[in-house]
């Protein structure tokens, strides 16, 4: 069933009842509680963890139903390869550009210069867990992990790419059927509607989850830890903001839509990502909103889940910026060859990162492990503030994937511009 302007929910609600306002208030209350009553705030961690688990519970079926239904309903399966190829090409170019930006900014601003930290004084055990996980990551292992042990296992494993894998295969299988194809497509659509209704119901718990998650962050790590490394945090946030405004803004303008209107349209999801430090918390809602904004179901189903593993702009900016910060703080002078090696390794390692809390830190460990000039133990310098940087990483990743989906949909002729303009000009409050 196609989406029309008349079918888009434009019912306005009072601002104090809107989800984005409730999440924003929850973040402020959580931060206040974490600052003044840290012990109480730390104990609220299960609220944030529980909400993320609830959302992740429906991610696999939502992706499967959206992708399988979209592919099964395609008039030509040739578009499948075209959409995937264009999406991956976009991801590679834009995310690699994000890595370069992080590298350039770190060289210009030099946030770690003057700290004069002796690498021998750092405790390597503080980051040993992240290094261990990073060492387990190999190209072969990553590719094999996409193939699930069983069909049902893909839906219960908690990973996005295996779900995408079986959904594509199932969708192609249904598309090749003669008599029962339309009935199966209709059934997939009906079941997906039920799951999206479930998502809408679960999103009412978002303020509670954001409150618990943000209270824990402030209570556990404290505002003081931010002041110690304020130069790095400020540099990262400003760089990410400029990347969104300038780079993604230019891409959006060239593709015929306003980045600002997109951000307003997705404000509820953006604040949810800020509160939970996880872009996955808003994945189902993002898919639903992009489809409602005129993007074809098949494009949304393919681009959004794939982008959550291969189009992590915020994580990429963070990786090269943090790597050079560690080098500067420990007095390591990197040659141009060292920086190019770092960039190359980061391009490869970043493509397998998942859009969840902590993945950026693990991927940074994987990158530094291959570049011997920068001490991996130096990651201990930024361990205490990583949680504060994860919000910015997650938001930048989220916005980058939203832009990418609309762009690829336009390239593929799968974007209804009239619906997009109508939706952006009449957002719900």
% of the chain residues with pLDDT over 90: 34
- CATH value at residue 191: 1.10.3860.10
In 324-378, beta strands by DSSP E: none
| Rounded CA separation 403/98 (Å) | 14
Instruction: Choose among 316, 307, 304: nearest CA to 342.
Output: 316
Residues 13-57: tens digit of each pLDDT = 666 667 778 888 998 999 899 989 999 999 998 998 898 888 888
Instruction: Choose among 422, 408, 339, 321: nearest CA to 80.
Output: 408
Higher pLDDT, 171 or 73: 171
Mean pLDDT value across residues 258-274: 93
pLDDT band at 358 (very low <50, low <70, confident <90, very high): low
Residues 74-87: tens digit of each pLDDT = 766 777 888 889 99
**Six-digit token string for 270:** 């953006």
In order, the DSSP letters of 365-378 are HHHHHH-TTS-GGG
| Rounded CA separation 201/409 (Å) | 28
Higher pLDDT, 243 or 112: 243
% of the chain residues with pLDDT over 70: 86
pTM for this one? 0.83
Instruction: Choose among 220, 272, 228, 267: nearest CA to 55.
Output: 272
Count the domains in the chain.
Answer: 1
> 415 forms bridges with which residues in the sheet?
295
CB neighbour burial string for 316-337, b if at least 16 within 10 angstroms, e if fewer:
bbbbbbbbbbbbbbbebebeee
User: Does residue 263 register a pLDDT over 80?
Assistant: yes
User: Does residue 370 register a pLDDT over 90?
Assistant: no
| Predicted pLDDT at 376 | 78
Half-sphere exposure of 133 (CA within 13 A, CB side): 13
Domain span at 69: 5-425
* Arithmetic mean of pLDDT over the chain: 84
pLDDT band at 252 (very low <50, low <70, confident <90, very high): very high
| Rounded CA separation 31/94 (Å) | 33
Q: Considering Cα of 188, then 194, then 198, then 199, what sign does the dihedral take?
A: positive
Q: Which of 22-26, 201-205, 316-320, 375-379 has the lowest mean pLDDT?
A: 375-379
Q: Report, in angstroms and rounded to the nearest whole number, the Rg of the chain calculated over CA atoms.
A: 22
């Amino acid at each position: 069933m196609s989406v029309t302007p008349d079918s888009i929910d434009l019912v306005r609600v009072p601002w104090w009842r809107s989800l984005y306002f409730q999440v924003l208030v929850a973040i402020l209350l959580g931060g206040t509680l974490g600052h003044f009553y840290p012990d109480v705030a730390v104990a609220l961690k299960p609220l944030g963890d529980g909400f993320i688990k609830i959302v992740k519970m429906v991610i696999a079926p939502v992706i499967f139903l959206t992708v399988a239904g979209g592919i099964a309903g395609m008039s030509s399966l040739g578009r499948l390869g075209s959409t995937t190829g264009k999406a991956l090409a976009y991801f590679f170019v834009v995310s690699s550009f994000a890595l370069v930006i992080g590298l350039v900014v770190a060289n210009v601003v030099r946030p770690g210069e003057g700290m004069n930290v002796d690498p021998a004084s750092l405790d390597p055990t503080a980051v040993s867990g992240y290094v261990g996980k990073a060492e387990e990551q190999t190209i072969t292992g990553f590719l094999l992990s996409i193939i699930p042990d069983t069909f049902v296992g893909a839906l219960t494993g908690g990973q996005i790419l295996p779900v995408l894998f079986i959904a594509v295969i199932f969708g192609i299988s249904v598309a090749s059927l003669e008599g029962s194809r339309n009935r199966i497509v209709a059934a997939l659509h009906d079941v997906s509607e039920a799951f999206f209704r479930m998502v809408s119901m679960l999103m009412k718990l978002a303020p509670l989850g954001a409150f618990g998650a943000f209270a824990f962050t402030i209570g556990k790590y404290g505002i003081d830890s931010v002041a110690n490394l304020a130069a790095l945090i400020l540099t990262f946030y400003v760089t990410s903001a400029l990347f969104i405004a300038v780079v993604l803004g230019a891409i959006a303008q060239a593709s015929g839509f306003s980045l600002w209107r997109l951000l307003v349209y997705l404000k509820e999801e953006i604040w949810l990502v800020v509160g939970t430090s996880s872009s996955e918390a808003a994945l189902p809602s993002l898919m639903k909103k992009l489809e409602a904004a005129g993007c074809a179901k098949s494009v949304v189903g393919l681009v959004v889940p794939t982008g959550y593993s291969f189009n992590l702009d915020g994580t990429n900016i963070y990786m090269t910026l943090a790597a050079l910060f560690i080098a500067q703080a420990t007095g390591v002078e990197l040659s141009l060859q060292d920086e190019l090696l770092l960039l190359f390794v980061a391009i490869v390692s970043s493509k397998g990162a998942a859009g969840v809390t902590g993945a950026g830190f693990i991927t940074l460990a994987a990158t530094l492990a291959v570049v011997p000039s920068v001490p991996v133990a130096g990651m201990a310098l930024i361990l205490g503030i990583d949680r504060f940087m994860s919000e910015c990483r997650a938001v930048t990743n989220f916005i980058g994937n939203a832009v990418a989906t609309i762009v690829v949909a336009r390239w593929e002729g799968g974007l209804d511009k009239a619906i997009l303009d109508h939706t952006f000009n009449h957002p719900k409050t």
